[in-house]
């Protein structure tokens, strides 16, 4: 029985390596990350100055009713879609806005998805997105790590990106190369 110590050593090494790997891959299944980002409000300088002046006037005379309305930041809804399940369960809205300063954002609103390891937000040129595992989606653009699997969150869209080339937003698991959920984009 000279092999018993070698067997025990092998088991110890397997457990020492296997447990951290298993925790990394499986822990997102029971750990939720909640996000609650406010909607970005980029106002042009003149609108911002008007808003600041209106607030100063209102604070100086708190009992007086203001006759002028607060200036509003202009924003345009460019596209939107509701998430549907692919490999995992999720819900919420994908909303593309252009703010007054020209910045474009993707807002995930009332959003929830099963958590997983290394989830990313992708824009893809296809709709519907298939439930293929291990196959990259050609033409996908990665907007970065998913900030949280629950809650409202914003992702800036690169200025040079032509949104008309994309048909879906996908929550993508990089280690397993699998789409969790997707939202088809309906142009406004």
Alpha-carbon distance of 81 to 120, in angstroms, equals 18
**Radius of gyration (C-alpha) of the chain in whole angstroms:** 23
Residuewise pLDDT in 10s, the chain (188 residues): 567 777 777 777 777 776 676 666 666 666 888 999 998 875 454 544 555 566 566 666 666 555 655 445 588 999 999 999 999 999 999 999 999 999 999 999 999 999 999 999 999 999 999 998 999 999 999 999 999 999 999 999 999 999 999 999 999 999 999 999 999 999 87
What is the SS3 string spanning 20-43? HHHHHHHHHHCCCCECCCCCCCCC
Instruction: Determine the pLDDT at residue 167.
Output: 97
Specify the pTM.
Answer: 0.73
Alpha-carbon gap, residue 183 to 81, rounded angstroms: 5
pLDDT of residue 71: 47
* Residue 182, phi then psi, degrees to nearest 5: -150, 155
**Contact criterion met (CB below 8 Å) for 105 and 157:** yes
Structure tokens at 65: 């009713």
């Amino acid at each position: 029985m000279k092999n018993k110590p070698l067997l025990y050593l092998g088991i110890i090494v397997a457990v020492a390596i296997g447990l951290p790997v298993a925790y990394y891959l499986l822990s997102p299944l029971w750990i939720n990350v909640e996000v609650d980002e406010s909607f970005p409000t980029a106002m042009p300088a003149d609108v911002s100055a008007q808003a600041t002046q209106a607030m100063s006037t209102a604070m100086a005379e708190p009992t007086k009713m203001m006759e002028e309305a607060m200036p509003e930041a202009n924003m345009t809804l460019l596209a939107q879609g509701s998430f549907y399940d692919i490999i995992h369960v999720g819900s919420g809205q994908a909303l593309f806005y252009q703010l007054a300063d020209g910045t474009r954002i993707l807002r995930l609103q009332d959003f929830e998805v099963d958590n997983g390891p290394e989830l990313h937000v992708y824009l893809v040129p296809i709709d519907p997105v298939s439930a293929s595992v291990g196959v990259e989606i050609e033409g996908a653009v990665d907007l970065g790590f998913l900030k949280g699997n629950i809650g409202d969150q914003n992702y800036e869209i690169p200025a040079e990106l032509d949104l008309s080339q994309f048909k879906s937003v996908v929550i993508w698991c990089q280690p397993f190369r699998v789409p969790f959920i997707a939202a088809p984009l309906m142009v406004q």
